């Protein structure tokens, strides 16, 4: 009984060993020398995110109170870059809260990048910001400097108020998007007159 078991084990061992050698022979024969571009791709770690999070809702607090909340389909963190960034390649919806934890302003964009060292947000592609008065600001590029507590753009801007639409180039505001100025106004359209005509 014991002899049969030993023979069976030997057969299994030889079968397994021959399979492994055969597999190694195939692997080594199919290997080719590494190309310089392949090695470079592996060593360029700054091109790959150190962290990726999908379907994220995050809250940032200050002294126990909610200061910011953001929602994004995907967050990518790049720590190995010379200028570390957090990227939002599929869009970002950001809420700014006041001292009473009420929404003070909100900003949406299709692409966003946060420069960690500078504490600077770059919002791109169909940017829409809304302040507590319900005024809507639209542009294609907007920056938010958290150190200076300013929001600005040098692009075309459209501001929709209750009774008028203002367009122009260049924009600067506080974080609440209430105390703002357009550097070069290109047009003012009275909305109230159009509404009366439609009625």
Put simply, whether the predicted model's pTM sits higher than 0.75 gets the answer no
Q: Where are the domains of the chain?
A: 2-31, 42-198
In the predicted structure, residue 23 carries a pLDDT above the cut 90: no
The least confident of 33-37, 40-44, 146-150, 166-170 is 40-44
- Could you read off the pLDDT of 46-84 as tens digits, one per residue? 678 889 999 999 998 988 899 889 999 999 999 988 899
Whether residue 65 contacts residue 99, with contact meaning beta carbons closer than 8 Å, is answered with yes
pLDDT at 155: 95
The full 3-state SS of 60-127, as one line of letters, equals EEECCEEEEEEEEEEEEEECCCCCCEEEECCCEEEEEECCCCCEEEEEEECEEEEECCCCEEEEEEEE
CATH of domain 42-198: 2.60.450.10
For the segment 126-142, the average pLDDT, to the nearest whole number, is 95
- Could you read off the pLDDT of 153-170 as tens digits, one per residue? 999 999 999 899 999 999
């Amino acid at each position: 009984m014991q002899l049969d078991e030993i023979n069976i084990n030997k057969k299994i061992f030889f079968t397994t060993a021959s399979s492994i050698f055969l597999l190694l022979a195939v692997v080594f024969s199919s290997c080719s020398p590494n190309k310089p571009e392949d090695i470079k791709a592996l060593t360029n770690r700054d091109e790959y995110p150190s962290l990726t999070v999908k379907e994220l809702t995050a809250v940032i607090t200050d002294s126990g109170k909610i200061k910011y909340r953001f929602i994004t389909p995907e967050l990518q963190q790049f720590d190995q870059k010379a200028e570390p960034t957090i990227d939002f390649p599929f869009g970002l919806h950001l809420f700014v809260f006041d001292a009473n934890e009420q929404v003070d302003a909100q900003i949406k964009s299709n692409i966003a990048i946060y420069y960690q060292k500078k504490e600077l947000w770059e919002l791109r592609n169909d940017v829409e910001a809304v302040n507590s008065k319900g005024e809507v600001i639209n542009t294609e590029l907007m920056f938010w400097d958290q150190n200076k507590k300013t929001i600005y753009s040098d692009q075309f801007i459209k501001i929709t108020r209750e009774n008028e639409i203002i367009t122009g180039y260049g924009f600067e505001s506080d974080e609440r998007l209430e105390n703002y100025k357009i550097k070069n106004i290109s047009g003012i359209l009275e909305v109230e007159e159009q509404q009366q005509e439609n009625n």
